Amino acid sequence: MKTVAAVPRQEIPPRDERAVETLPSLLRVSDIARAFSLGKSSIYEAHSAGRLPGYRLGDGKGGLRFAVSDVLRFLAERREP
């Protein structure tokens, strides 16, 4: 059986103005929290309420991932004047 080497995860520095440009195409909850200064629980709640669509990877309780476009749409919908 072949082993596949793990690809190192790209770290996103907190509050980086260029964070959106450096994001991978699917984000983890921790990536979104760090890049946009949000609490992880807020992200989970938005997903559970259907306001932020995501992907459950793996079987059962696999990792939750979010498309960058969905995250940006979610944030734009909450923009205040």
Walk along the chain (81 residues) and give the pLDDT tens digit of each residue. 444 444 455 555 555 556 666 656 899 999 999 998 999 999 999 999 999 999 988 877 778 999 999 999 999 998 888
d(CA 37, CA 42): 11
Looking at the domain that runs over 19-77, which CATH code has it been given? 1.10.10.10
- Per domain, the residue ranges of the chain are 19-77
d(CA 73, CA 78): 9
What does the pLDDT look like over 48-67, one tens digit per residue? 999 999 998 887 777 899 99
Given a contact cutoff of 8 angstroms between Cβ atoms, the answer to whether 35 and 22 are in contact is: no
